[in-house]
Structure 1
């Protein structure tokens, strides 16, 4: 006589399912905490935007173009860098502020004019400070170079 075997039972026990649900809840709570406090502001991007706008104004001044100015503004939601504001053909760069503020010598808005060698007409180093969750500094040297960090004497 042939014996019938019971079908193989497969699946998860209630304890295993509850354990997995608890682990997923803990991991998602940790993940939300890690990403919720992040700001979209990037100090590297801000430094690159200042450098790009400065380079355009320097190239215009070297070519005798009237777009040899750089205006730096702090709007409600954005930082704005305008090259050649009074030239009739301005170029505007914007990046989101994301709760960050910008301070510059003399306050904002700040308009810089560059000479034919690409140096700012102020003749001094200009220190820009972005303040928010952290503080980031960008320097525009008296020779026209832009770099991250504080200005050297």
Structure 2
């Protein structure tokens, strides 16, 4: 006569593990506040706008008219407009939740909180080769450092070559 086995079968254990995984994945959002990811979300959207403007500059390939990304700030969002000359190529709104923006093109070592606030409207230019340029189409010689600050800080950098990335600007 066989004795009945005590314990759980492998299938029962796998089902319990799957249920715990699903419950954990669903409930993890309850432990985080929107302010914890507001800065990261805003930084990702700023970064995508910089990269999009640079790609448009490659596409348009104009020697005389750089692509301009103009960012304005209203009471609850940043409005970015990508233009070339008098043509509007793209508009995009970025919502912010108590996120402040600071910038510098010369201070790459101080903490972000020590940088001056960005003055709006702010315009970023890209020439036909994708380089970051000024309004006169002269290539910039230094990085542009942009910090988004709220409960945490995210740093963005635009190199003179026009490449925008998340992280500290190198000297």
> Is TM > 0.5 for Structure 1 vs Structure 2?
yes
1:56 equivalenced with 2:52 (yes/no): yes
Bigger Rg, which one: 1
Q: Which residue number corresponds to residue 149 of structure 2? A: 131
The CA distance in 1 between the partners of 2:90 and 2:99, in whole Å, is 23
How many residues of Structure 1 are paired with residues of Structure 2 in the alignment? 121
Please, what TM-score do these two structures have when normalized by structure 1?
A: 0.64
Distance change >3 Å, CA 117–CA 88, structure 1 → 2: closer
Distance change >3 Å, CA 131–CA 48, structure 1 → 2: closer
Shift of 1:74: 2.4
Unmatched runs of 5 consecutive residues or more in structure 1: 1-30
The structure 1 segments of at least 4 consecutive aligned residues displaced by more than 6 Å after TM superposition are none
Q: State whether residues 78 and 94 of structure 2, in contact with CA within 8 Å, keep that contact through their aligned partners in structure 1.
A: yes
Shift of 1:77: 0.5
Output the aligned Cα RMSD: 2.7
1:104 equivalenced with 2:112 (yes/no): no
Please, what TM-score do these two structures have when normalized by structure 2?
A: 0.58
Among 121, 132, 147, the alignment partner of 1:120 is: 132
Distance change >3 Å, CA 104–CA 75, structure 1 → 2: farther
Unmatched runs of 5 consecutive residues or more in structure 2: 1-27, 105-117, 135-139
Alignment of 1:21-60 (within 5 A): 34-35=31-32, 37-39=33-35, 41-60=37-56
Q: State whether residues 57 and 67 of structure 1, in contact with CA within 8 Å, keep that contact through their aligned partners in structure 2.
A: no
For residues 104-140 of structure 1, the C-alpha deviation after alignment (integer angstroms, 9 at most, x for no partner) is 3463321121112101114121111111111211111
For residues 60-88 of structure 1, the C-alpha deviation after alignment (integer angstroms, 9 at most, x for no partner) is 33323557111122221012222117533
